[in-house]
Amino acid sequence: MKFYVCIKQVPDVNAPLQIKEGHLIQDSDRNILNAYDASAVEEALVLTEKHGGEVEVVLIGSEKAKETLRKALAMGAHKGTHILSDADETYDSYGYAQILAAFFKDKEYDYISCGKQSQDTDAGLTGSMLAEMLNLPYTTNAVGLVANGESLVVKRQGDTGQEMIELPSPGLVTCSNDMNDPRIPSLKGIMQSKRKPVDTIAISDLSGSASEAGAKTTILAYEEKPEREPGKKFEGEPEDIAREVARLLDTEANVI
């Protein structure tokens, strides 16, 4: 079973940040493996350890992002591919999907897996866009994967309950961070990761429109979340309070 897992380096959500004059200022030295992608790596490793196969991780990012690629290799992934981008270049979901589609165009695999979203934007669109570009069947928000012959049975978290979906090969699945607890790399794994093969590819070397990939959306500015208005406290008899609440819901909130 051949798995490709798409991973991303993101800012540490626990690092301090501030918004100044519409710009988001973060600690550029505190970057980590996206938690959703870590769960995708873990699940691919569990399946290949049980049924045999290989896990290759693919990352789009600047030279510094190679640290995150090595983290996934230290977890147990067999090989890595670093699609090198300019440190100042930013992509939205469509841009990332374009680049990945060009990379996977001539690759053979059983499954591509991604985190269902990234911690920096929470957009959650790259996986589905990539599946469309590659004309692959796909399932989103998986919380469990079980091999079933030549296919995967995906336990998917839906809006009102869990769904069991059979996903044929080749296919694509996006993974929730509720799927598992990703392993912490051991010292042995960290040392071994330094000897594992990593291919580096420039975006300009990819065929198709990858070299022209860019953001289709524009961030105008960042703003602090507005403070919630204080609630109202009512005193008096229950019947009078209920009557006043109903009046306010009707005249001010327009919900009745």
Alpha carbon distance 156, 33 (integer Å): 23
pLDDT of res. 25: 77
pLDDT mean over 13-41: 83
pLDDT of res. 225: 80
Please state, rounded to an integer, the average pLDDT across all residues of the chain.
89
Query: Phi and psi of 250, rounded to 5°?
Result: -80, -45
- pLDDT for residue 211 is more than 80: no
pLDDT of res. 226: 84
How many CB atoms are closer than 10 A to CB 143?
18
Residue type, 24: L
For the segment 213-255, what is each residue's pLDDT rounded down to a tens digit? Answer: 667 788 888 888 888 888 888 888 889 889 888 888 888 767 6
Alpha carbon distance 74, 34 (integer Å): 15
pLDDT of res. 184: 94
Q: How confident is the model at residue 208 (pLDDT cuts 50, 70, 90)?
A: low
For the segment 142-186, what is each residue's pLDDT rounded down to a tens digit? Answer: 999 999 988 999 999 888 888 999 999 999 999 999 999 999 999
Helix (H) or strand (E) holding 234: none
Residue 173 CB contacts under 8 Å (≥ 6 apart), including other chains: 111, 112, 113, 114, 127, 138, 139, 140, 142, 145, 152, 154, 167
Positive or negative: CA dihedral 33, 35, 36, 39: positive
| Four-way CATH pick for 2-212: 3.10.310.30, 2.60.120.10, 3.40.1390.10, 3.40.50.620 | 3.40.50.620
Give CA angle at 141 (107, 130), nearest 5°.
Answer: 30
How many CB atoms are closer than 10 A to CB 244?
13
Q: How confident is the model at residue 212 (pLDDT cuts 50, 70, 90)?
A: low
> In angstroms, what CA-CA distances link 8 with 68, 114, 181, 241?
8, 9, 18, 53
pLDDT mean over 53-69: 93
